[in-house]
Chains A and B, each alone.
Chain A
Amino acid sequence: MSVAAAFFYLFSGVMIASAFMVIAARNPVHSVLFLILAFVNASGLFILLGAEFLAMILIVVYVGAVAVLFLFVVMMLDVDFAELKQGFLQYLPVGALIGLIVALELVLVVGGFAPSQAALGAPRSPAPADVSNTMAIGLVLYTKHVYFFQAAGLILLTAMIGAIVLTLRHRPDIKRQDISEQNARTRDEAVEIRKVPSRTGV
Chain B
Amino acid sequence: MTPLSYAIAHSLPEIILAVGALGLLMLGAFRAGKGDWIISEAAIVVLGLALLSMFFQLGDKAIIWDGAFVDDAFARFMKALAIGGALVSLLLSREFMARNGIDQFEFPVLVLLATLGMSMLISAQSLIALYLGLELMSLALYVIAAFHRDNGRASEAGLKYFVLGSLSSGMLLYGASLLYGFAGTVSFTGIAQALQGSPSLGVIFGLVFVLAGLSFKMSIVPFHMWTPDVYEGAPTPVTAFFATAAKVAAVAVTVRIIITAFPGLQHEWRQIVVFVAILSMALGSFAAIGQTNIKRLMAYSSIGHMGFALVGLAAGTEQGVAGVMIYMAIYVLMTLGTFAAILSMRVGDRYVEDIADLAGLSRTNGLMAFVIAMMMFSLAGIPPLAGFFAKWYVFLAAINGNLYGLAVIGMLASVVAAFYYLRIVKIMYFDESARPFERANVEVTAVMAVMGLFVVIFSFFPGPAVVQAAAAAAKSLF
Q: Which residues of A approach B to under 8 Å, CB–CB? A: 105, 108-110, 112-116, 118-120, 122, 124, 144-148, 150-152, 154-155, 157-159, 161-162, 164-166, 170
The residue in chain B whose Cβ has the minimal distance to the Cβ of A117 is: B194
Chain B, 174-221, CB within 8 A of any chain A CB: 178, 181-185, 190, 193-197, 200-202, 205
B residues in contact with A162, CB < 8 Å: 110, 139-140, 142-143
For residue B69, CB closer than 8 A to chain A, the reply is yes
Ranked 10 nearest A-B pairs via Cβ: A119-B184, A162-B143, A147-B65, A151-B132, A118-B194, A122-B184, A119-B194, A109-B202, A165-B106, A122-B185
CB distance from B27 to the nearest CB of A (A): 14
- A161–B109 touching, CB < 8 Å: yes
Partner of A155, one of B139, B147, B158, B181: B139
Residues from chain B with a CB closer than 8 A to the CB of A154 are 18, 113, 116, 136
What are 6 A-B residue pairs whose CB atoms fall within 8 Å in the complex?
A: A109-B201, A119-B185, A122-B184, A148-B128, A148-B129, A152-B132
Interface of B, secondary structure class, is helix
Residue ID in chain A nearest B133 by CB atoms:
A151
Interface residues of B in 4-45 (CB under 8 A from A): 18, 22, 25, 33
**Inter-subunit contact B185/A124 (CB<8 Å):** yes
Determine whether B349 belongs to the interface, using a CB cutoff of 8 Å to chain A.
Answer: no
Chain B, 52-95, contact with A by CB distance < 8 Å: what is the 0/1 string? Answer: 00000000000001101100000000000000000000000000
- Given A147-B129, A148-B129, A161-B110: A119 in contact with B146 (beta carbons within 8 A): no
User: Which residues of the partner chain A approach B302 to less than 8 Å between Cβ atoms?
Assistant: none
List, in ascending order, chain B residues with CB within 8 A of A164's CB.
106
Instruction: Across the interface, name the chain A residue whose C-beta is closest to B18.
Output: A154
Tell me which residues across on chain A come within 8 A of B335, comparing CB atoms: none
Task: State the CA gap A157–B18 with chains docked (Å).
Answer: 11
- Known: A114-B200, A152-B132. Contact between A105 and B185, CB under 8 A? no
Tell me the complex Cα distance, A166–B150, Å.
Answer: 10
The residues of B that contact A151 with a CB separation of less than 8 Å are: 120, 129, 132-133, 136
Q: Would A119 and B136 count as touching, CB distance under 8 A?
A: no
8 Å CB contact of A166 from B120, B132, B149, B185: B149
Residues of A within 8 A of B414 (CB): none
Question: Count the B residues whose beta carbon is within 8 Å of the partner chain — how many?
Answer: 45
Chain B residue with the shortest CB-CB distance to A112: B201
Closest to B102 in A: A165
What is the CA–CA distance of A118 and B190 in the complex, to the nearest angstrom?
9
The listed residue with most B CB atoms (<10 A of its CB), out of A105, A112, A113, A161, is A161
Is there a chain A Cβ closer than 8 Å to B156's Cβ?
Answer: no
A124 to B66, CA, bound (A): 12
A72 to B149, CA, bound (A): 25
Nearest CB in chain A: distance from B7 CB, A: 9
A161's nearest neighbour on chain B, judged by CB, is B106
Residues A116 and B194 in contact, CB atoms below 8 Å apart: yes
Cα of A101 to Cα of B194 in the assembled complex, Å? 29
Contacts of B129 in A (CB 8 A): 147-148, 151
Interchain CB contact under 8 A, A116 and B132: no
For B183, give its contact among A116, A148, A157, A165 (CB under 8 Å): A116
Q: Which of A108, A124, A155 contacts B132 (CB 8 A)?
A: A155
Q: Which B residues touch A116, using CB under 8 A?
A: 182-184, 194-197, 200
Q: B135 on the interface (CB 8 Å rule)? A: yes
Q: Mark B108-121, 1 if CB is under 8 A from A, else 0.
A: 01100100100010
B104 within 8 A of A: yes
Most buried by A among B120, B133, B140: B140
Residues from chain A with a CB closer than 8 A to the CB of B142 are 162
Is the Cβ of B194 less than 8 Å from the Cβ of A158? no
- Whether A161 pairs with B143 at a CB distance below 8 angstroms is yes
Q: Nearest chain B CB to A34's CB is how many angstroms away?
A: 20
Do the beta carbons of B110 and A118 come within 8 Å of each other? no
| Complex contacts, A114 vs chain B, CB 8 Å | 200
Interchain CB contact under 8 A, B201 and A108: yes
Please determine whether A119 and B132 come into contact, CB atoms closer than 8 angstroms.
no
Contact of B200 among A112, A120, A150, A157 (CB under 8 A): A112
> Is B185 in contact with A161, judged by CB distance below 8 angstroms?
no
Which residues of chain B are within 8 angstroms of A118 by Cβ–Cβ distance? 183-184, 193-194, 196
CB-nearest residue of chain A to B64: A147
